Structure 1
Amino acid sequence: MTVLPDPWWPQAVLAGILAVDAVMSIRPPAFIRVCLEGVGFPEDWWWTLVVIKLLAAAGLIAGISVAGIGVAANAGVICYFLAASAAHIRARFLKSEFWLNCLGMLALSTLALIVSYVVPGL
């Protein structure tokens, strides 16, 4: 495994998607709101998800040129969506939001890690 992404673009794509997700989470549209309410995440704490996603996006971008930061940020994003998946399963909220939003982002973040760090130059 390398400490700089090769190729770098999966990290940039993931960072962009997380940044857009964070901005959308400021005033969540219905599909995000349904997801958060479905797992019972308190509305008073929704702002923390915006901060987490923006920090993750910044870490992914910084990691394109700073050794070690990107792989740590990418691993953190995977852990975030693993925790979100566990919350969905625990709440038995397994509707389309779980399959598309949560598992989709888990798959994307895992793929970005594999392509950029595990199998470099892919």
Structure 2
Amino acid sequence: MAMTATYLALTLIASIAALGGAVLNLTGHRIPVTEAQRFSVPMEWLSFPIGVSYALGFLGLLVGVAVPAVGIVAAAGFVVFFVLAIGAHLRVGDRSLGRAAVGLALASATLVVTAMYAAGQDDLGGVVAAYVRDVPEPWWPVVLLAVFQIGDAVMCFKPVGFIARCFTDVGLPRALWPVMPWVKVAATVGLVAGLWVPYVGALTSAALIVYFVCAVAAHIRARDIGRNLFLNATLSLVLCVAVFGFCFLR
């Protein structure tokens, strides 16, 4: 009973915060506009992907009350979001981390409590287990995807030529470049852990699909219709979808 109350309270607080972030960014409020200017983030990013991400996270947290697995994905997405935000601050030497640090703390607490709540529910709410395997079968495509991710991470630490051009072409602020390899490292850890820990691999694969959908959208938005779109973003998206469908869907 106490765990349920804690989970619902944190979910309510996080949902209100997410809704506020969506409204501020989608309406072009001065707070996100000022921060975007400080970190050289394109103004159009306030609507997509930032504002849309807040809105989807808000909906995900609410849906998570009925289907805890969705709440886990939403909370994990916010953790990644605020890690990227803190990385952007530190990259430009900005130590005013108040809002980002509070956001990360709230997202992390929500993720932990949601996972603990989900663990006490049958089959993560009775929906996910009907369609998704708890561990991959077969396992080798997941390992192959993890190898690709760690290789991508290595090339991103000091971006090789084609990756640097890719970042530049889609308008990714330089403040975020050092954060990108850690996203790949986190994906690698999630995929490998998912070989043994139920649903972690499936959640990581699903998160990678969302990531590469956003990457494809970023290329199209920037009118970068060429090698970067088709051989990098689209091919990676196809690989992630294949792994999720082949290894995790029942």
Q: TM-score range by the shorter chain?
A: over 0.9
Q: Number of residues paired by the alignment?
A: 119
Give the Cα separation in 1 of the matches to 2:158 and 2:235: 21
Give the Cα separation in 2 of the matches to 1:6 and 1:84: 28
Q: Residue 108 of structure 1 aligns with which residue?
A: 239
**Matched residue type, 1:97:** N
- The answer to whether residue 208 in structure 2 is matched with residue 77 in structure 1 is yes
Give the Cα separation in 2 of the matches to 1:109 and 1:72: 12
Give the Cα separation in 2 of the matches to 1:49 and 1:79: 15
Give the Cα separation in 2 of the matches to 1:79 and 1:55: 15
Q: Residue 9 of structure 1 aligns with which residue?
A: 140
**Matched residue type, 1:2:** R
Kindly indicate whether structure 1 or structure 2 has the higher relative contact order, using CA contacts under 8 Å at least 6 residues apart. 1
Q: Secondary structure at the match of 1:7?
A: coil
- The answer to whether residue 210 in structure 2 is matched with residue 50 in structure 1 is no
Q: Residue 164 of structure 2 aligns with which residue?
A: 33
Give the Cα separation in 1 of the matches to 2:154 and 2:175: 17
TM-score w.r.t. length of structure 2: 0.47
**Matched residue type, 1:38:** D
Q: Which runs of 5+ in 1 are unaligned?
A: none
* Cα shift at 1:21: 0.2
* Cα shift at 1:61: 0.3
Greater Rg over alpha carbons, structure: 2
* Cα shift at 1:42: 1.0
Q: Residue 223 of structure 2 aligns with which residue?
A: 92
TM-score w.r.t. length of structure 1: 0.94
Q: Which runs of 5+ in 2 are unaligned?
A: 1-131
